[in-house]
Every structure is written in C-alpha cells, then in structure tokens.
Structure 1
C-alpha cells in the first residue's frame, strides 16, 4: 500500500513531464528494500536518480504548486532554469539526507507538484572561501549526532541478518551479527577487526610492504581472481590505518562521491577544449579528496574535544555507508 504519493517536476523540462514518486510500506532503492519508517530524504534522492536516470548531484525542493496557481504560471511562462525556486516558487530546499520522509511530507500530495528537482549547472558562480566554509560547517552541524557516534566508536548503520525461526542454529547465527546489504548478508563487512585485533587476511604484510615502498612508488596494485579476498584485504588494512576509501562505482557498498564527480565532469566538459577537460576532471576528483580530508579533520577535532580516540574502523564504516560523504563534495563543486 502506498504511504506517500508525491508528484515531481525536473526544472528545465516541459510541464507535461511531471511524474509521480510512490513510496510504499517497503520501497526498493538501488537494490535494497527500505521500510517506510527508515525512508529518508537521502533515499528519496537516490530513488529519483534511479527512476529518471539523472545525474547523481542534484537538489530537491519541497513545494506546493497547484495547476492554475501563480507559481504554476511562473513555471509555464518563464525559462525554468532561470527561476529562483525559493523566492518565486516558495520552495524549501530539502538539505538533510537523514530527515524521515514522514517528517518532510506528513501526508501524500496527490494533486499538484510536491517536489522540484534541480539538476547541477555546468557553469558555477564564484564564491569566497569563507562562504564555502560556512556551508561546510552548516552541513556538518546537521550530521553532528551521527559524527559523534563515529568519533566515540558507536556508529553502527547496518541491519543484521536474522535466521528463520525454524532454523536449528538460529541463535548462533543471529549472535554473529552479519551485516545486511541489499537485503542479503554481506560477509565482506562481517567481523571487521579493530586496530589491534587479529585479521583474517595477511594485511600486516601488505602494510609493511607499503611502508617500505612508499618512497620509491606512489602506487600499489593488488591483483587476483574474483573472490580471492582483495576487497577484504583492503578493508582490514583500513581498519588499522586512517585512510580514504574510494570506489569508481558502488556496486555493493561504498560512497557515490567519485561516481557523482564523474557525472558532473561528463556534463561540464561538453564543448570544452582538451586542456580544459583535463582541468575539470582533476577538479572533480580533488573535490572528493578535499571533502573527505575536511571531514576526517573535523572528526579528529571532535575526538579531541570529547577526549576520546576514534578507531580507524569507525571512520571506514562511515565512509562506506553515510550520505554525508556524498553530500559534502557538492559544496565544493557548486
């Protein structure tokens, strides 16, 4: 049964391109079944991106635009990309990825436009460093409770696998606390070690090799057949050291910031000369790296204030799972 029906409009499209978003008791987003009670603005963004095959960097605005209203006529009579959504359409930007959909939309909106989707511009206005810093701090404040859990090593974003009630070893399996991803148990994330705990892989040897080779080589390539343990090896290494974990495409887990950067670059380089293309691509990647380092530095500052030591594992799990990692680079891009 539908819990929320919300009609959406992509700024820049024709008004006859309005489409519905239906959120049920359980809604499938990126291969995972999300219960309505857990459905947040972040999942709404991902759902719209997947449904309409959009660029991953976008903004969504809550509006209430009925056909025939003043706001409707503005959309109808003005080039959509030039519209000031906040002032002219009385829009409220939905910034917090963690806010439950039931809070943002207490009821369905079966008539009119409830959501405006704003795609990224390929040209961006210049801003001062102080303006960017304010935006970063504002975003970090909205995630302050989750960040405190990361710093105090209490961050636990996963649902754990539960065996069927008639399984003879249900209690033993349930006690293992195997993380679930996409509706299935994921052993890659199971029982990841803390900094000084034993590992399943030989990551200690890899760590020693990296330290020996760091002066002579800037790159280490790990090769092996599918399923041989390459990803688990890297995860265990990052449970021992504060590091940045990037994936080109998050097939099962990992942040989307690099994928978003690729989409932004694809849009931004159209019609540009090769030299400009290279600079834009480098800028997109450095936005991701800068955002991660800003976030890590902020967590270290929080740990100092709280007089605690953040485990590398806690930082790794946060990188693998939290929307903030996707949202923060957008500030540097736009």
Structure 2
C-alpha cells in the first residue's frame, strides 16, 4: 500500500533557511511521521540512532544480505511510529499537532510521566527482536491505510548524514 503513489518531495536549502520549520508546519496540520537522523538533546527521537547501532552490530560483508536486513530493521522503525500513532488516535482530542509534539519532544513528555526512555527507540528494538518481516509489512500496510486518505508526509530530516553512515556496507550505483 505504501508504494502505490511513490510521491517524493526533496526540500533543499542552506543551513538555517527553514527546511525543518517548513516540515514542522506541515506536520502540525497533517498526520505524518518525523524521523531525525541525528537528534539533539531535546528534539527528536533516537529511533534511527538505535537502528544504525543495531545494524553496525549485525552487518556482514554480504551487501545483499545487509540490504535485506536494513530494510527489515527500518520497517520496524516505521511500524513503531505507526503503532504509537494508531494508539494515540483512539483519543478523540489527539490531533496532528499533538502527534508532532510527541514525535519531536517525547523525551520531555516521558519525563513528566516518569518514563525516561525513548518510546520510539524502545518499541523499534522490541519489534526488531520479536517480529517477522512479513508480519511487520502487513501491520504497516494495515495501519497506513487508516491515514493515507490524504497526504501522509514522512520526513527524514538531516538525511544527508546517512550518506557517510555504514559506509561500504551496501551496494550503490557507484559502488556495486
């Protein structure tokens, strides 16, 4: 279901020009997902940091196997956010703005509820360890269909940092 439309928008600009702010404005109005490659102390979940750390321990010299593993692990991060979104939407007053705040500031909110962990990272790691990839894909498609009636942005902020992460572990057009 997710691949049906394959619409992608890349927002490019110099540092400080408002790329993240633009994404936040959009996500405060529309349901969507926000991933930050390198979160700060306050803003952003550490789910992708957990994914990268997990992959660093599991990758081998087999680039094809690495690709398969990375897809499965990233799907778990995606499902983690979708499961939490789906759960939160059971509350009628929950809206896209609340969801954006939970995604970007959940560590601060968690402390007010005496939960000091990163809920997205914790759930992602639990899904990686306990779920089969086909079940993860089925769950993603099921939950995604609830939200895809309209635009459903998935933001990968600071994506350029991934270009030097786990170098030489995957095939590319330039380096098969």
TM-score (norm 2): 0.60
Which residue number corresponds to residue 161 of structure 2?
Answer: none
Question: Higher helix fraction: Structure 1 or Structure 2?
Answer: 2
Give structure 2 stretches of 5+ with no counterpart: 107-117, 130-176
Give the one of 241, 244, 257 matched to 2:47.
257
Residues 319-334 of structure 1 correspond to what in structure 2 (within 5 A)? 319-322=103-106, 323-334=118-129
Question: Higher strand fraction: Structure 1 or Structure 2?
Answer: 1
Which residue number corresponds to residue 29 of structure 2?
Answer: 240
Alpha-carbon distance in 2 for matches of 1:315, 1:240: 10
Residues 1-334 of structure 1 correspond to what in structure 2 (within 5 A)? 215=5, 218-251=7-40, 253-270=43-60, 272-301=61-90, 303=91, 308-322=92-106, 323-334=118-129
TM-score (norm 1): 0.33
Write out the 4+ residue segments of structure 1 that deviate beyond 6 Å after TM superposition: none
Match of 2:89, SS state, is helix
CA RMSD of aligned residues (A): 1.7
Q: Over alpha carbons, which structure has the higher Rg?
A: 1
Larger RCO of the pair (alpha carbons < 8 Å, separation 6+): 2
